[in-house]
A and B are shown apart, each in its own frame.
Chain A
Amino acid sequence: MNRLRRLVTPAGAALLALSASAAAQETHLLIVAGLGGEPQYAESFRAWSAALQASAEKRLGIPRSHITLLAESAGKDLAGADGRSTREELQRAFGQVAARCRPGDTVAVVLFGHGSGAGEEARFNLPGPDASARDFASWLSPFELQRIVFVNTASASGDFQKVLAGKNRIVLTSTRSSQERNEAVFGRYFSEALSSDAADADKNGQVSILEAFEAAKAQVATEYQRERRLLTEHAVLEDGEGGSLARRTFLGSRATGLVAGSPASSDPAIAALEAERRALEDRVEALKASKGSLPDDRYEAELERLLLDLALKNEEIRKRREGGKP
């Protein structure tokens, strides 16, 4: 099986280098539970925020110091909150993140709550004065060198897209416009998607922003269907690249954006195999991109050959890690 003996390709080496560089990137997560209005909503927003905070720390490996949680009633109703979700606190939190983040970092903002208004005046409801889309645009303006993931799961959040979309930004809203004003459940499922492997559609050990979005959207549709309600929230993702940026973006310490699983091995032999694996993965992706332009039988044969190589490579790595040689 001489296929197992391939050398690290130049492309693989480049990926390896990039991987090392990417590993230094950090994620800064700001979670905001807005005004509940009614007890059941306040409880939902609290629960979703807490779940996301917990999984961000334990599962995604984001240091607690990089997570800011603002809650409607800090301390009293949400243990572990860093402050109250007022407009002033929010503005201050953005300033703190701006002060500590570095170029290349990812800044993620996730809002749970109710929304109102439209256009630049579309609002996220907070205790006290609300925060408008224009406010968020202003607060995000310092982050020119960071990747922004902005997730507004509130009702009537669709117009935030128009105001906040931009280069190196991924904006998710739970509705497609400000006209969808009914209670939205997208936030719950988005939080869940980041908290488990279920949304990991490509089985690379990480849930990308795109995967979390797709999973949450599907769950929303299922819930409405189950309850025989007309779908009144249509979540939207905009990243300026047709989903490609969101596919490459992950939250947390495993957020290399390139490969899954454990970090690059310190064992040079395994590291070399991993590089070969990445090269194969790269070729699989390249083949998939050319799917429409190849005859079906040729595509299928080439795909099977590459996937088989990849499976063999993975098997070899696994065996080496387990202590034996392939």
Chain B
Amino acid sequence: MTRTRISIRRGSAASAAVALLVLPASSVLSPVVRAQGLSVPLPTARPQQKLSASEALRRGEYARAIEAARADLVATPGSGPALSRLVAALLETGAHASAEETTRAFLARNANAGEAWNTLGDVLVARGRRGEAEAAYARAIASRGAASLAAEASLGLLLNDRGLRAEATARFERLIAAYNAGRATSAQNLIAVGKACRALGASNPDAFKDALKAFDEAAALDETHEARLRTGELFLEKFNGTEARTAFETVLRTNPRQPRALLGLARARDFDGERGVPDLVDAALATDPGYAEAYAYRSGLLLALEDFPAALAQAEKALAVNPSSAEALAAKAAAQYVSGDSQGFAATRQRAESLFPASGDLLVTVAEAAVRNRLYRESAQLAREALARDPRSWAALASLGQNQLRLGEIDDARKSLERSFEGDPYNVWVKNTLDLMDTFRNYTLVDAGRFRLFLDKKEAGILGPPMGALAAEAIQKLSERYGFSPAGPIRVEAYPSHADFSVRTVGLAGLGALGVCFGPVVAIDSPQARERGAFNWGSTLWHELAHVVTMGASGNRVPRWLTEGISVHEERRARPGWGDDLSLEFLLAYQAGRLLSLRDLNNGFVRPRSPDQVSLSYYQASLVVEYMEGRYGLAALRGLLGAYAGGATTEKAFESAIGRTLEQVDAEFQAWLKARLAGPLAGIRPSGAPGSTKGPELDTRAALEARLAKDDGDFVAHAMLGLLNHREKREDDALKHLERAARIWPGSSGDESPYFAIAEIKLARGDRDGAMAALKALVALNENHDAARRQLASLLESAGELQAAFDVLESLVFIYPFDPALHERRAALASRLRKPREVVEARRAIVALDPVDKAEAYYQLALAEIDAGDRAAARRSVLRSLEVAPRFERAQELLLRIHREEKIP
């Protein structure tokens, strides 16, 4: 199937792709009739004292809506619309029993009121009594009243859920026919048509467009929010967070308490990785304490935090409200599955399958929960089982394809995703991923021992050799430390476009991470994906490979905070300067009491409350791991991973591996941390953050000087004043303050660090040793500072410290290896140090960088290869040189020399 190319990703792509839904291209709906009713004006707001039940309901003034609707029913006891408004208000505020009681009372007086039977059907569905609901809808249809089309759609959906698809489809088709005959002109009927079209979309994707069209028309007539809510929910189903958000926010502008809009917005934000999701779910439940889907969603959020008991409790709450809620059953099943309760999972699954015999939706939900808990292989299997139940489940195919991609099964992934796209071309995630896979032809698979390096063809020659060597070193050391060696090949993918890396990782652009580990597959940003010096790809790869080991050692059940903590800890162990170090931000957060407890540390990764909480949590987790290894030994970390692999909860894992509770370890850690930070904190003032909006202004000379007059031990004030003086070329003053700052807190390596400025000043004054000392201090703390490294390498070389200079240059390869000058310097130094293999590596990198003077580059490589004793390679290289420049005399001489020495005929 051909995909329409849409170049922009994420929100924009989603908008573009799904916006097509409103265009009636191959619509089953007649365009003539479709335009009807659009001129009907929206209800206008009335003065508060005269608020009608419907208007009060629209605004979310539920008590007034209920009161007014009851009054309407007293005034007109047989009014179906009045009943409908009252029941809607009751249902929206969780008064399900009252809603049923009221409806049944009405029906006792008006047994043939079709609209009331339809209302009863809605109430019964909300209460999980689907069989009774079917009967109620049938009565509504039989009455041929105003709500008969709505009842037809609702009954069709219930039948569809039961697997009676032919019967359901016949009912949906009747709705289409009614629309095309001009009989579906009210908001309620248009919504019914939209629901039918949405259901038909499973077998005919064009029907999704019709669904949107019908909802759109209904919204123009709707005195409730139902049409917009349906629109938003359809967009969410298609992973179009932007359009969904617009729909929900429109509703919330009128009714800020509308529970479905609040939950929908929560889902849209969750989809985009934004903060505030739990608060929105809480708000939805505050309005409607009987909102089963909200409890189910909350369960999913807790599951992502790996709080399995709480997740299960929320799912149970959902089921208490609605025992046959598909979402509630799926939430419960997911919690049971992820927590390892296989018996419970099987029971819940069986219960759901008896209610929804032809649906794979529960398994798809569980599969996605498994992904959130890094159980990719299991997730793929669940998706396969979902497909076995419902071969038309495009969501299951999408889930399967994404998991196959995560597991490195690229060809199978493409097939699954193509099939999913064929069935549902409006899934933005699938489309983005397929677009990304189309670019895979620009990549090559480099075989590096047990690693398969999936690299952009233009980068493979430069990144491949150091990446292969580093990966091999990392996996060997990490396997030894944790007593676990991953089986089979490990695939490492590096993307020169961050957007592509992001789509690869989460299906959408905008991911903030640098790397991700799916178990046997690791994906990272290539150094070209970010600004030069923005990150260290070597430490990033080491970090992800540590995940490969810890996830493997724990059967993918290690808590997020622990695996991240180990990975950062291992970065620091890998190379001097690698990994997060103590930052000013961390010190200030500690001072402000903003660090999370160990029990809540997962929140810092999954649901951060502030943008910096993620990075703070990474560092904190690494310190916890460092503390645990120091206090209890590496065996404790191994023990924890082993316990998780055995299915232990965190409580049991800590008890068995360390003999302490999580809280006890946290308390010990806090005491350790306090002692550890005491020194640095002595120089940090609570309001001392550069650019802080709290406390005194720090950016002016006068403010800084005044601050230092009162307190000479203020690190930030000294550092800021020193840097200010340096910018203004007042170098004597600058040096005084910068050196004082460095004495107060020698561990500063961020933007506020005094070291680079000290080095610049000292270098300008001819103090090479002083400059080198400052630069050494900086690069020992900061893994990304390439300018400092380049400068330091030059100084070391000029001081005759060739090996040290070479080591610094080697460390630059892990920051930005696409600089020909770097490799020229590496080659020259390696040559001076008589390191022929390293000269060859550097020369190969130069060739891979596609220099203008390729002939010279290949010639130099050939010379290096001869020095390294690799004449066969030298012969190949000199031929490449002469292929570019056949008259290149030095290369010709080398070719003759090789032939004569080798006596090649």
A294 CB, min distance to chain B CBs, angstroms: 13
A126 CB, min distance to chain B CBs, angstroms: 32
Residues on B with beta carbons closer than 8 Å to the beta carbon of A281: 886-887
Q: Is A19 an interface residue (CB 8 A)?
A: no
Residues on B with beta carbons closer than 8 Å to the beta carbon of A312: 896
Q: How far is the CA of A34 from the CA of B799 in the complex (A)?
A: 47
Q: How far is the CA of A308 from the CA of B895 in the complex (A)?
A: 7
- Given contacts A228-B532, A260-B887, is CB(A215)–CB(B892) below 8 Å? no
Q: Describe B's contact surface by its main secondary structure.
A: helix
Residues on B with beta carbons closer than 8 Å to the beta carbon of A203: 855-856, 884-885, 887-889, 891
Q: Is B25 an interface residue (CB 8 A)?
A: no
Q: Is B852 an interface residue (CB 8 A)?
A: yes
Contact A307 B853 (CB under 8 A): no
Contact B884 A202 (CB under 8 A): yes
Q: Is B879 an interface residue (CB 8 A)?
A: yes
Q: How far is the CA of A312 from the CA of B884 in the complex (A)?
A: 18
Q: Is A201 an interface residue (CB 8 A)?
A: yes
B531, B853, B855, B899 interface centre (most CB from chain A within 10 Å): B853
Residues on A with beta carbons closer than 8 Å to the beta carbon of B532: 225, 228
B76 CB, min distance to chain A CBs, angstroms: 68
Q: Is A304 an interface residue (CB 8 A)?
A: yes
Choice from B531, B854, B892, B895 contacting A201 with Cβ under 8 Å:
B854
Q: Is B882 an interface residue (CB 8 A)?
A: yes
Contact A202 B887 (CB under 8 A): yes
Choice from B851, B883, B885, B889 contacting A303 with Cβ under 8 Å:
B883
Contact B899 A308 (CB under 8 A): yes
Interface string of A186-203 (1 = CB under 8 A from B): 000000000000111111
Residues on B with beta carbons closer than 8 Å to the beta carbon of A259: 887
Q: How far is the CA of A98 from the CA of B499 in the complex (A)?
A: 54
Residues on B with beta carbons closer than 8 Å to the beta carbon of A261: 887
Residues on A with beta carbons closer than 8 Å to the beta carbon of B883: 284, 288, 303, 307
Residue of B whose beta carbon sits closest to that of A299? B883
Contact A199 B895 (CB under 8 A): no
Contact A307 B852 (CB under 8 A): no
Contact B895 A307 (CB under 8 A): yes
B510 CB, min distance to chain A CBs, angstroms: 21
- Given contacts A310-B886, A310-B892, A312-B896, is CB(A304)–CB(B879) below 8 Å? yes
Residues on A with beta carbons closer than 8 Å to the beta carbon of B889: 203, 314
Q: Is B612 an interface residue (CB 8 A)?
A: no
Q: How far is the CA of A83 from the CA of B527 in the complex (A)?
A: 50
Q: Is B237 an interface residue (CB 8 A)?
A: no
Q: Is B132 an interface residue (CB 8 A)?
A: no
Residues on B with beta carbons closer than 8 Å to the beta carbon of A201: 852-855, 884-885
A178 CB, min distance to chain B CBs, angstroms: 24
Q: Is B767 an interface residue (CB 8 A)?
A: no
Residues on A with beta carbons closer than 8 Å to the beta carbon of B819: 225
Q: Is B167 an interface residue (CB 8 A)?
A: no
Contact A308 B886 (CB under 8 A): no
Q: How far is the CA of A205 from the CA of B888 in the complex (A)?
A: 9
A280 CB, min distance to chain B CBs, angstroms: 8
- Given contacts A218-B852, A281-B887, A307-B886, is CB(A315)–CB(B896) below 8 Å? yes
Q: How far is the CA of A304 from the CA of B872 in the complex (A)?
A: 13
Residues on B with beta carbons closer than 8 Å to the beta carbon of A21: none
A contact residues, total (Cβ < 8 Å)? 33
Residues on B with beta carbons closer than 8 Å to the beta carbon of A214: 852
Contact B879 A307 (CB under 8 A): yes
Residues on A with beta carbons closer than 8 Å to the beta carbon of B879: 300, 303-304, 307
A191 CB, min distance to chain B CBs, angstroms: 16
Q: Describe A's contact surface by its main secondary structure.
A: helix
Q: Is A204 an interface residue (CB 8 A)?
A: yes
Q: Is B341 an interface residue (CB 8 A)?
A: no
Q: How far is the CA of A155 from the CA of B852 in the complex (A)?
A: 24
Q: Is A311 an interface residue (CB 8 A)?
A: yes
Q: Is B893 an interface residue (CB 8 A)?
A: yes
Q: How far is the CA of A312 from the CA of B888 in the complex (A)?
A: 12
Residues on B with beta carbons closer than 8 Å to the beta carbon of A202: 855, 884-888
Residues on B with beta carbons closer than 8 Å to the beta carbon of A222: 820
B contact residues, total (Cβ < 8 Å)? 26
Q: How far is the CA of A198 from the CA of B852 in the complex (A)?
A: 9
Residues on B with beta carbons closer than 8 Å to the beta carbon of A311: 882, 892-893, 895-896
- Given contacts A300-B879, A308-B895, is CB(A314)–CB(B887) below 8 Å? yes
Residues on B with beta carbons closer than 8 Å to the beta carbon of A218: 851-852
Q: How far is the CA of A303 from the CA of B532 in the complex (A)?
A: 40
Residues on B with beta carbons closer than 8 Å to the beta carbon of A310: 882, 886-887, 892
Within 8 A of A (CB), among B889-904: 889, 891-893, 895-896, 899
A52 CB, min distance to chain B CBs, angstroms: 19
Q: How far is the CA of A205 from the CA of B886 in the complex (A)?
A: 11
Residue of B whose beta carbon sits closest to that of A197? B853
A263 CB, min distance to chain B CBs, angstroms: 15
Residue of B whose beta carbon sits closest to that of A310? B886
Q: How far is the CA of A152 from the CA of B740 in the complex (A)?
A: 54
B450 CB, min distance to chain A CBs, angstroms: 28
B532 CB, min distance to chain A CBs, angstroms: 7
Contact B853 A198 (CB under 8 A): yes
Q: How far is the CA of A300 from the CA of B886 in the complex (A)?
A: 14
Residue of B whose beta carbon sits closest to that of A193? B852
Contact B887 A205 (CB under 8 A): yes
Within 8 A of A (CB), among B870-888: 875, 879, 882-888
- Given contacts A228-B532, A304-B879, A307-B895, is CB(A199)–CB(B852) below 8 Å? yes
B545 CB, min distance to chain A CBs, angstroms: 29
B462 CB, min distance to chain A CBs, angstroms: 14
Contact A314 B531 (CB under 8 A): no
Contact A204 B887 (CB under 8 A): yes
Within 8 A of B (CB), among A295-325: 300, 303-304, 307-308, 310-312, 314-315
Residue of A whose beta carbon sits closest to that of B856? A203
Q: How far is the CA of A314 from the CA of B891 in the complex (A)?
A: 12
Q: How far is the CA of A202 from the CA of B879 in the complex (A)?
A: 13
Q: How far is the CA of A303 from the CA of B891 in the complex (A)?
A: 14
A215 CB, min distance to chain B CBs, angstroms: 5
- Given contacts A303-B879, A307-B879, A315-B896, is CB(A284)–CB(B886) below 8 Å? yes
Q: How far is the CA of A314 from the CA of B884 in the complex (A)?
A: 17
Interface string of B794-837 (1 = CB under 8 A from A): 00000000000000000000000001100000000000000000
Q: How far is the CA of A204 from the CA of B884 in the complex (A)?
A: 10
Q: How far is the CA of A284 from the CA of B886 in the complex (A)?
A: 8
A288 CB, min distance to chain B CBs, angstroms: 7
- Given contacts A228-B531, A315-B896, is CB(A204)–CB(B852) below 8 Å? no
Q: How far is the CA of A218 from the CA of B298 in the complex (A)?
A: 55
Interface string of B762-775 (1 = CB under 8 A from A): 00000000000000
Query: Can you list 15 residue pairs at the A/B interface with Cβ under 8 Å?
Result: A201-B852, A202-B887, A202-B888, A214-B852, A215-B852, A218-B851, A225-B532, A259-B887, A284-B886, A300-B879, A307-B892, A308-B895, A311-B882, A312-B896, A314-B889
Which residues of chain B have a CB within 8 Å of any CB of chain A? 531-532, 819-820, 851-856, 875, 879, 882-889, 891-893, 895-896, 899
Sort A-B residue pairs by CB-CB distance and give the 3 closest, nearest first. A203-B888, A203-B885, A311-B892
A sample of 11 more A-B contacts (CB under 8 A), given A211-B852, A260-B887, A307-B882, is A201-B852, A201-B853, A201-B884, A214-B852, A222-B820, A228-B531, A303-B879, A310-B892, A311-B882, A314-B892, A315-B896
